[in-house]
Amino acid sequence: MRSSENSAEMSEQAKQYLNSNPAIPMVCNLHAHTYRCNHATGTEEEYVQNAIQGGLKTFGFSDHTPMPFPADYYSTFRMHPEQQEGYVTTLLALREKYRDRIDLKIGYEVEYYPRYFNRLLRMLHRFPVDYIIQGQHMLYNEYPDAVYCGISTKDPDFLHTFVSQSCEGMQTGAFTYLAHPDLCDFRGSAVVFEEEYGRLIECANQLGIPLEINLLGIRAKRPYPHEAFFRLAGQMGAEVVIGCDAHAAEDACDLTSYRKALQMIDRFHLKYLPKPGLRPVPESV
Ligand SMILES: [Zn+2]
Ligand SMILES: [Zn+2]
Question: Average pLDDT of each block of 10 consecutive residues along the chain (285 residues)?
Answer: 52 66 84 98 98 98 98 93 98 98 98 98 98 97 94 98 98 98 98 98 98 98 97 98 98 96 96 97 97
261 contacts: CB under 8 Å, gap ≥ 6: 213, 215, 218, 225, 242
Ranges assigned E (strand) in 135-238: 138-139, 147-148, 152-153, 185-186, 211-214
Distance from the CA of 77 to the center of ligand 1, in angstroms?
7
123 contacts: CB under 8 Å, gap ≥ 6: 66, 67, 68, 81, 84
* SS3 call for 106: strand
Tell me what pLDDT residue 8 has.
59
Specify the length of the chain in residues.
285
Alpha-carbon dihedral 21, 24, 29, 30, rounded to 10 degrees: -160
| CA 11 to chain CA centroid, nearest Å | 24
**N- to C-terminal Cα separation, the chain:** 39
Distance from the CA of 33 to the center of ligand 1, in angstroms?
7
- Listed residue (176, 177, 178) closest to 136, CA to CA: 178
Alpha-carbon span 57 to 27, nearest angstrom:
5
Neighbours of ion ligand 2 (CB under 5 A): 109, 245
- Listed residue (135, 127, 130) closest to 78, CA to CA: 135
Longest dimension (CA), the chain: 54
Ligand number with the minimum distance to the CA of 31:
2
- Residue 171, φ and ψ in degrees, nearest 5: -65, -15
Tell me what pLDDT residue 146 has.
87
Alpha-carbon span 136 to 78, nearest angstrom:
13
Tell me what pLDDT residue 4 has.
43
Distance from the CA of 62 to the center of ligand 1, in angstroms?
10
Tell me what pLDDT residue 83 has.
98
- Residue 178, φ and ψ in degrees, nearest 5: -105, 115
Tell me what pLDDT residue 96 has.
98
Fold of the domain built from segment(s) 3-272: TIM Barrel (3.20.20)
Distance from the CA of 101 to the center of ligand 2, in angstroms?
24
Alpha-carbon dihedral 116, 132, 210, 26, rounded to 10 degrees: -150
Domain ranges of the chain: 3-272
Ligand number with the minimum distance to the CA of 214:
2
pTM of the model: 0.93
Distance from the CA of 1 to the center of ligand 2, in angstroms?
30
Ligand number with the minimum distance to the CA of 111:
2
Tell me what pLDDT residue 158 has.
98
Distance from the CA of 113 to the center of ligand 1, in angstroms?
17
Distance from the CA of 248 to the center of ligand 2, in angstroms?
11
Distance from the CA of 8 to the center of ligand 1, in angstroms?
32
Tell me what pLDDT residue 2 has.
40
Ligand number with the minimum distance to the CA of 179:
2
Distance from the CA of 64 to the center of ligand 2, in angstroms?
7
